[in-house]
Structure 1
């Protein structure tokens, strides 16, 4: 499922960097992601074209908040465990 989402995001390759993690020890597993887009907002064409964008909860990161900054670093570095759960898979979009 994560691979399909990354394929659909291919249209914004020039505008984004992303990291998707699959975490948990028993199903249903959780999917967490970190996406950096050019500018302050998710480009409208991405929201219009990638139908499963609305399935995820999107939150703008405040890097002046030390806890959020540490969470971003943990995602980029594939730290295990992530938020106390097993890291099953990590995919990078660049």
Structure 2
């Protein structure tokens, strides 16, 4: 992760915390993972603008989807917010200069988040 922070351009890129809005409706882990895969499929147009890691944490009938995206620019581009599933996720811009944010991003990208069950990388 050191390389990322040494080369990260906070003017040209922004980092967004992503949380699924309907975690209480999630049931089986593999189905939650499939939701991530479907979302990533519908983000196909955004491949030039975004990189992200979403993970499933918890256990069957009590799990959550969350993660981080690095997006070109300071706003979410049309290629991302035009995806059919976009409204099912909360995107919140974070301050990447904060140590605690960087540590959490490192956990999500390395899949070492507490309660980790499955994850997918969008690239």
The bucket for the TM-score relative to the shorter chain is 0.7 to 0.9
TM-score normalised by L of structure 2: 0.67
> Hey, which bits of structure 1, 4+ residues long, moved more than 2 A?
none
Gapped runs of 5+ residues in structure 2?
1-34
> Aligned partners of 1:46, 1:72: CA distance in 2, in Å?
20
TM-score (norm 1): 0.85
Larger relative strand fraction: 2
Determine the C-alpha separation between the residues in 2 that align with 1:34 and 1:51: 19
2:13 is matched with none
Displacement of 1:46 in angstroms is 2.4
Matching residue of 1:67? 100
Q: Which stretch shifts more, 38-47 or 70-79?
A: 38-47
Deviations 1:35-88 (A, max 9, x none): 1111111102421x2122111111112112211111111111111xx2x4x211
Summarize the alignment of residues 30-41 of structure 1 with structure 2, pairs less than 5 Å apart.
30-41=64-75
Asked if 1:28 is matched to 2:62, the reply is: yes
What is the alpha-carbon root mean square deviation over aligned residues? Answer: 1.3
The count of aligned residue pairs is 89
- How far apart in 2 are the matches of 1:9 and 1:44? 10
Equivalent residue for 2:48, pick from 5, 9, 14:
14
Mapped pair 1:51 → 2:84: yes
5+ residue gaps, structure 1, are none
